[in-house]
Chain A
Amino acid sequence: MEVRVGPDTEDTFDDTFWDGLHCVVNALDNIQARLYVDSRCVWFGKPLLESGTLGTKANVQVILPKLTQSYGDSQDPPEESIPLCTVKHFPNAIEHTIEWAREAFEQMFVETPREGNSFLGDPTSYLQKLSTTGSGTSQLQRLKSIKHIIEKRTGPFDAFVEYAVFEFQEKFHDSIVQLLYTFPLEHVTAEGTKFWSGPKRPPAPIKFDANDDLHLDFVVAAANLYAATLKAPENRDRAMLKSLAAKVKIEDFKPKEMKIKADDKDTTAEGCMDDDEAVRRLSTEMSQKLKTLQVKADLQPAEFEKDDDSNFHIHFIAAAANLRARNYKIPEADFHKVKMTAGKIIPAIATTTAMATGLVSAELLKVVNYGERKVEDFKNAFVTLALPLWVFSEPLPPVKTVSKEHDPIVMGPVKARPEGFTSWDKVECNLGDATLQEFLDFLTDEVQVEVMIMSSGNACLYNAYVPAHKKRLKEKITSLWETITKQTLSPKKSYLTLEVSASDLDDGVDVVIPTVKFQFR
């Protein structure tokens, strides 16, 4: 089957399908899909064999209904990400400039055309939204980019080359001059230490030179990517582009009084005061101009594709990353390294895959009769073939919800009913097509709780604190669901999943209960 598993395909992979399974085996490459499959296995009470490989590393996790944790019960520690300020102003490693270049690609060739289309489609609405997002400086940059792309959309290619040279100037010269204006080389911090030291490498601006291969690489890539967003034909004639670029007149840059964050803990709002005023003027100018122009919103945002070496994507990122590295005197990277890093490619190998298959297959043999087995028989595995290292361990028991004296979220005591229930548990309600009141009475009898809030997915079906909800009590839950979600219940569906917040009948303490399966058919 060529159907992606997810919430949209629950008509294909319906209850009958899931109920009929003995076991599910994951062979996925992303966490989102894994979490979805895991949630289905938990709901339908099915064993799941989860595994993944990364280079010579592999892991296998066995998930058994009621006996073990589910995949979603634990999280990998977050990946080491690059701090914002490091990428934006203070890189000291090539990985930082590659990330910066990747973001520049997104901003120039994905977001700008997208926003351009948004503006062209409904200029008033766009300008209104713009004025509420980000600083005046960032708004000004975005608006200028949109103005430029609209004005230059008919070419000729000279205009795209000019654009590329201006971008070069802005990124590798002007913004560096601005940074050094705000934080001069001799700048000293409040503590008396040199600002430009340690992880903050002092940058130097680069003036555009069409004779420099790396400068030209950037211009060729940027100009062509720009042309692509405008659906204009490409131009790979390097000699011609070089002569066009050399002719572009570059203005002198005067730095402004600009506020820049010194590090991620700095609470300074970035931007320049003059820019707020400039944005307002530009907005007015653009909305007036547009009244006379007949422009279709058909700009073409790029879709990052790492594998096609002819599309200029990696070429752009490599040139940009290396130019910025030159600004900061960081050793440059070759095309291959940029592709692997920017494309987040982790080479996979047959040996790890084969080894993991062996382990998963062994666990599958145990799953066949898991009801007759002990949890200790099953083995989760963490392997790194490079070292080599094998670590097998027993799957952990499911996370239990227990009553607490003090829960930090509720700021008070919370009871769990039943005590120590897990995500594998549910409250089964077989009242048929009952009313809300009948359901509340059911919970009062079965679980000794008073329902305070009841929801299905994102829809709140009942809130005891809202007086107006009292009239919902005599309605059927199914019709209530249809009214509030504005959807019709598929004839295939025989139950609703409900989340209930409740309080104890006797002492009013908050009570958490498992998810409710409301079987109405």
Chain B
Amino acid sequence: METMGKLMQMKVLISGLRGLGVEVAKNLILAGPAQVILHDEAPAELRDLGANFYLTQEDDPFDPSRAEACRAQLAELNPYVAVELHRGPITEQLVQQVSLMVLTETPQSELVRLNKLCRSAPNPVGFIAADCLGLASFVFVDYGDAFMCHDKDGEEPRSAIVSGVTLESPGTVHTHQDRRHGFQDGDSVVFKEVQGMTQLNDGKPRQIKVTGPYSFTIDEDTSKYSAYISDGIVTQTKVPHHIPFFSYEQSLAQPRHPGEEMHVPDMAKFGRSEQLHFAVQAVLAYREKHGELPAVRDAAAAKECVDLAKQINEARKKGGNPQLFVEELEEEIVTKVAMFARCMICPMAAFLGGVVAQEVVKFTGKFSPIHQFLYFDMFELCPATEPDWKPKGCRYDDQIAILGSSFQEALANMKLFLVGAGALGCEFLKSFAMMGVGCAGKITVTDMDRIEISNLNRQSLWICRSTGSRLGYLRSVPTLSPS
């Protein structure tokens, strides 16, 4: 509830409205901040239709910018959120007017400049940078030097019944064996109704170290306390704690905080995050040099990125600890990121869009933010041999660039059965429509439920307020993909 209150006051700037930006905007608007400011001067292109679901064929010749083209429909998602446009570059003034900014499609130098402005603003402004580069992606989070987390995991506080407390330093607490206490190291707990050792009933939180499923120690000398007699309830309590963040510039060189490792989402891809760290920086460096990302499947551009990556890595090696470097750069990884850097495919945009929107909500202090990089790839999708990847001049070009036209055709010919049209079902349908699934084949959807009041806030395909048969509202889906 408290989180909702804070969220309702947030003003969030979202820059870059290709698939990723619009997914973040959609998810965030459904959650309900005070204001979302859209920023994207670039005009929409046909291939943007592959992942930005608010752009339609009728926007040809795409005079309005991408931001303008989607503003109205994004605004419809939630009448309590003001959705506005910002034209021109992001100024210091704008930075100080928002609570947080999400930057996609943004050049490295801009990221550095804006991050500095966010950190130096009178009230620290939350900073998130994220990009989908074909089959690879990253999220970077910086909430400044004074960030406080109030609830690290959102779980209901657990309680246990005390069965004994020793007189020693540190004191050991035993809990009743009818149920494991379920506490973790570092948790804070409060006691009440303890008979005998009443000194514990002061309501003050105490940090614990778990010693067993029915025991833990408290950071306290209980040897002089009155002896424990009986009863007592011990409950987890959430204590606000400070989380330090490095700036974007510092994180490029030193992405890991002392004692922490980068996320390893897939143990089968151990070490991948470190490799991607350099691959992504190389691709962004390429854009600084040439003004645009490497072209699709451009071998020369990819080679240049490999060289850039090596240079960056060597520089870090020279700098030494605590800067991150890899013993050997995997050229294939850099190549794969460079080859498809310009491609925005639906699955990646949806995945990252969900992750980033959740990170925005974490700025309220609920849950634990990414600390501070997440790298993710779907390289298994990359075909083993080069497919027929040349663009067809259609909305699926980004997908075709990676997977090929024959594959796109096979996707179109699919006969798929989608069972259920609730929150997940609707999102799947939108996603399939945008990927071109079954448009020559068939998608059969079935569902038995009706729309209930409590599920309107997470199903963006229905904009109406009335309740009734869910499937009627899926009429909007065909407009996403007329083919």
On A, residues with C-beta under 8 Å from B are 1-5, 17, 20-29, 33, 37, 51-53, 55-56, 83, 92-93, 194, 197-199, 307, 345, 348-362, 364-366, 368-369, 376-379, 384-388, 390-394
Contacts and interface: CB of A to CB of B under 8 A. Distances in A.
Contacts of B444: 1, 17
A27 B422 contact: yes
A352 B354 contact: yes
Contact of B368 (A198, A364, A369, A387): A387
A22 B176 contact: no
B5 to A, nearest CB: 15
A24 B417 contact: yes
B354 A358 contact: yes
Given A197-B230, A354-B350, A362-B378, A24 B161 contact: no
B358 interface: yes
A387 B27 CA distance: 19
A452 B346 CA distance: 55
A21 to B, nearest CB: 5
B368 A386 contact: yes
Contacts of A22: 414-416, 441
Contact of A5 (B357, B414, B419, B453): B419
A348 B455 contact: yes
Given A197-B231, A365-B411, A391-B265, A92 B380 contact: no
29 contacts: A5-B419, A21-B417, A23-B417, A24-B416, A25-B417, A25-B428, A26-B419, A27-B418, A27-B423, A33-B420, A51-B424, A55-B154, A199-B176, A349-B458, A350-B26, A350-B30, A351-B355, A354-B427, A357-B428, A361-B432, A362-B351, A365-B381, A369-B407, A386-B154, A386-B367, A390-B263, A390-B265, A390-B266, A390-B374
A117 B104 CA distance: 65
B448 interface: yes
B446 A198 contact: no
A20 B415 contact: yes
B300 interface: no
A343 B203 CA distance: 31
B483 interface: no
B349 to A, nearest CB: 7
A329 to B, nearest CB: 9
A23 B153 CA distance: 36
Contacts of B368: 386-388
Contacts of A378: 380
A366 B437 contact: no
Contacts of B415: 20-22
A307 B350 contact: no
A354 B357 contact: yes
Given A25-B419, A358-B351, A358-B354, A350 B457 contact: yes
A251 to B, nearest CB: 35
B34 interface: no
B26 A365 contact: no
A376 B411 CA distance: 21
B410 interface: yes
B420 A385 contact: no
Contacts of B321: none
Contacts of A199: 161, 176, 178
Contacts of A27: 418-425, 428
Contacts of A345: 454
B431 interface: yes
Contacts of A23: 414, 416-417
Interface string B10-30: 000000000000010011001
B59 interface: no
Please list the 5 inter-chain residue pairs (A to B) with the smallest Cβ-Cβ separation, ordered nearest first: A358-B351, A355-B354, A27-B425, A358-B350, A354-B354
Contacts of B161: 92, 198-199
Nearest to B160: A199
A194 B454 contact: no
A360 B429 CA distance: 11
Given A4-B448, A37-B419, A307-B454, A377 B380 contact: yes
B367 A352 contact: no
Given A198-B231, A348-B423, A386-B153, A356 B354 contact: yes
Contact of A198 (B230, B265, B455): B230
Nearest to B402: A365
Interface string B342-353: 000011111111
A299 B425 CA distance: 39
Contacts of B424: 27, 51-53, 353, 356-357
Contacts of A359: 347, 351
Given A2-B469, A28-B420, A307-B453, A350 B357 contact: yes
Contacts of B423: 27, 53, 348, 350, 353
Contacts of B26: 350, 354
Contacts of A384: 153
Contacts of A52: 424
Contacts of A29: 420, 422
A98 to B, nearest CB: 13
A284 to B, nearest CB: 44
Contacts of A353: 354, 423-424, 427, 458
A5 B446 contact: yes
Nearest to A80: B179
B52 interface: no
Given A22-B415, A194-B230, A386-B368, A350 B268 contact: no
B267 A354 contact: no
Contacts of A386: 153-154, 367-368
A56 B351 contact: no
A27 B428 CA distance: 8
Contacts of B430: 357
A390 B354 CA distance: 13
Given A3-B448, A24-B419, A351-B31, A361 B347 contact: yes
Contacts of A388: 263, 355, 358, 367-370, 374
Interface centre among A22, A56, A378, A393 (most CB of B within 10 A): A22
Given A27-B422, A385-B355, A357 B435 contact: no
A397 to B, nearest CB: 16
Given A27-B422, A358-B352, A361-B435, A392 B265 contact: yes
A28 B352 CA distance: 23
Given A198-B163, A351-B357, A376-B268, A362 B381 contact: yes
A345 B423 CA distance: 15
Nearest to A308: B453
A33 to B, nearest CB: 7
Contacts of A51: 424
B447 interface: yes
A194 B350 CA distance: 58
A5 B421 CA distance: 12
Nearest to A264: B178
Nearest to B159: A93
B198 to A, nearest CB: 16
Contacts of B432: 361, 364
B85 interface: no
A350 B356 CA distance: 12
A29 B159 CA distance: 29
Contacts of B425: 27
A48 to B, nearest CB: 9
A350 B427 CA distance: 9
Interface in B197-216: none
Contacts of B403: 365
A372 B309 CA distance: 33
B452 interface: yes
B381 A307 contact: no
Contacts of B417: 17, 21, 23-25
A369 B414 contact: no
B361 interface: yes
B355 A355 contact: yes
A370 to B, nearest CB: 11
Contact of A387 (B265, B367, B471): B367
A297 to B, nearest CB: 30
